[in-house]
Amino acid sequence: MAKHVHRVGIHEAKTHLSRLLRDVENGAEVVLERGGRPIARIIPAMEPVSPADSYGMFAGQFTTADDFDGDSEQLADLFGVSR
């Protein structure tokens, strides 16, 4: 689904700030313009995520090869590491 973008001038933004913020809360993006040129965006704020909240959040969603951290001549050559 495409995000709805409101393009508004500074005067309109000051006059209708509450409505624009409500629109942002509902997923819209607001682009503030001066003289028809975009100068700023108002987007929904992300909730801060603490490391404790994110620990293990991708557990079981992907796998790595058994030799993931093994020696690789090709990588050694790419990075100029002598073996």
Confidence of residue 35 (pLDDT cuts 50, 70, 90): very high
Residue in 27, 31, 51, 49 with CA at minimum distance from that of residue 40:
31
Structural domain of residue 1, as residue ranges?
1-44
What band does 16 get if pLDDT is binned at 50, 70 and 90? very high
Structural contact between residues 77 and 71, judged by C-beta atoms closer than 8 angstroms: no
The answer to whether residues 58 and 35 touch, using CB atoms and an 8 Å cutoff, is: no
Q: Is residue 36 very low, low, confident or very high in pLDDT (cuts 50, 70, 90)?
A: very high
Residue 76 lies in a domain: no
pLDDT higher than 90, residue 21: yes
pTM score of the predicted model: 0.54
Residue of higher predicted confidence among 19 and 1: 19
| CATH number for the domain that contains residue 27 | 3.40.1620.10
Residue 2 is assigned to a structural domain of this protein:
yes
